[in-house]
Structure 1
């Protein structure tokens, strides 16, 4: 089965039908599936990488974007069902971490297979969610904020074409995550959670990341990496090696 053919929501850059496990990754606000493409070459052949492609992003530009967390998580929880035929890890970066958590909540409600581990990257726990108003800012202010978080975003300030292409999706996703209101009072998920942070991430404190410990009852760990909010750009080999170890079954 090629997951990319099962649903337009997923990209599988190197189909591995005999893989024993899957790593399903969700991108950040304004991000696309291709953010994870290079990870295929860093994972062993028994792990199949699946990257989520949000509507209105990259090769789904013609489709309407979704700017509310509830409908997005509902849709993904439905679309992900064919991928639950083998053990998997769920990894989300920044906005993607919140989306991944909401997917897990829905899978639990539906009695479906949960990931072996939820890995949340560069995101405060739902109980510490801050919201925000950057989606209401003018283009220049929003671009300045993006450039502060990610040096790769600087190109948007010098290219009118790139700005027109990418800024609508970025603003849409900022609206989604900034207006998101996590549900309070839910019991913790019956799975382990790992929180990854960049040591120099000015957007996230260690305490905010550590608060994820209250959202799962299968164990928790907090890991830090060199870099800021987009530490993944410079630590992909280390991160994928760690995810590979996390996905391996415990010795008998």
Structure 2
């Protein structure tokens, strides 16, 4: 399914001739709504597809100015983006769902969650990744005011795009326009007067060059529900790696199904690649772009 605002990403691969798999895929029992980083396309969440259970539907935000909507002007404020997303979510077949946002997507995910609460259709869990909580608003100098060359260089620096694009900036023209619009929306966003009652899972990487890792626990101030924080390694875009995705998916599924939460991540010395324990969080200098 594709709508203006949400695109379905297929999960798993059906075994040849497996009718039970086909039926479960036709009628999912749970849903994850994922919102990518600034300028991100739905394809950013492709690494998540193999790790999702067959009965969990993955919908990824499709914002104006990218993908099939490349011909539409990108929106530069959070409010109209959330209005479009919330309308699309409200029109879906009702089922338990979780919202996860990465970087700028965390801002959208938080406001989408609040909007859906007001509609009486809240998610069971909100996961926010690689973005400081709203009590720390963006401050100048703002990234959306950088020149194209400066913005592209910074994206390369934090691992968002290939360094080869520095020699071919024209290829990034449409994408930079969407990235700049998303950054403007994020950098003009201010903390709302009230938070949410939906449980929050705060996610981040200790080696993220964009976000101060020690601030991520303050997402606990934005909910009256339960709060959990998990820390990983892998830089600002750690969330799209298969190892990180597998850990996060287990927590999302637990929040959706009401099962017992997965055990806390082990220490870096004996844990799988891609994550570290909360006790290992260090201080990382923050940059403007996130």
Return the TM-score normalized by structure 2. 0.79
SS of match in other structure, 1:189: coil
Match of 1:238 in 2: 247
- After TM superposition, which residue ranges in structure 1, 4 or more long, deviate above 3 angstroms? none
Kindly indicate whether the alpha-carbon contact (under 8 Å) linking 1:119 and 1:194 is maintained by their aligned counterparts in 2. yes
Counterparts of 1:205-244 in structure 2 under 5 Å?
205-234=212-241, 235-244=244-253
Please tell me the root mean square deviation across aligned C-alpha atoms, in Å: 1.8
Aligned match for 1:100, one of 109, 112, 136: 109
SS of match in other structure, 1:12: strand
Aligned match for 1:129, one of 131, 134, 137: 137
- Residues 109-166 of structure 1, C-alpha deviation per residue, up to 9 Å, x if partnerless? 23x2111100000011111222441111111111121112115342431223422232
Kindly indicate whether the alpha-carbon contact (under 8 Å) linking 1:131 and 1:177 is maintained by their aligned counterparts in 2. no
How many pairs does the alignment contain?
A: 244
Match of 2:22 in 1: none
Find the structure with the greater CA-based Rg.
2
Kindly indicate whether the alpha-carbon contact (under 8 Å) linking 2:135 and 2:191 is maintained by their aligned counterparts in 1. yes
The structure richer in helix per residue is 1
Kindly indicate whether the alpha-carbon contact (under 8 Å) linking 1:84 and 1:113 is maintained by their aligned counterparts in 2. no
Kindly indicate whether the alpha-carbon contact (under 8 Å) linking 1:190 and 1:216 is maintained by their aligned counterparts in 2. yes
For the pair 1:167 / 2:190, whether they are aligned, the reply is no
Match of 2:198 in 1: 191
Counterparts of 1:1-252 in structure 2 under 5 Å?
2=1, 4=2, 7-14=3-10, 16-83=25-92, 85-110=94-119, 112-132=120-140, 133-150=142-159, 152-183=161-192, 185-186=193-194, 188-234=195-241, 235-250=244-259
Kindly indicate whether the alpha-carbon contact (under 8 Å) linking 1:128 and 1:211 is maintained by their aligned counterparts in 2. no
Matches of 1:214 and 1:250 in 2, distance apart? Answer: 24
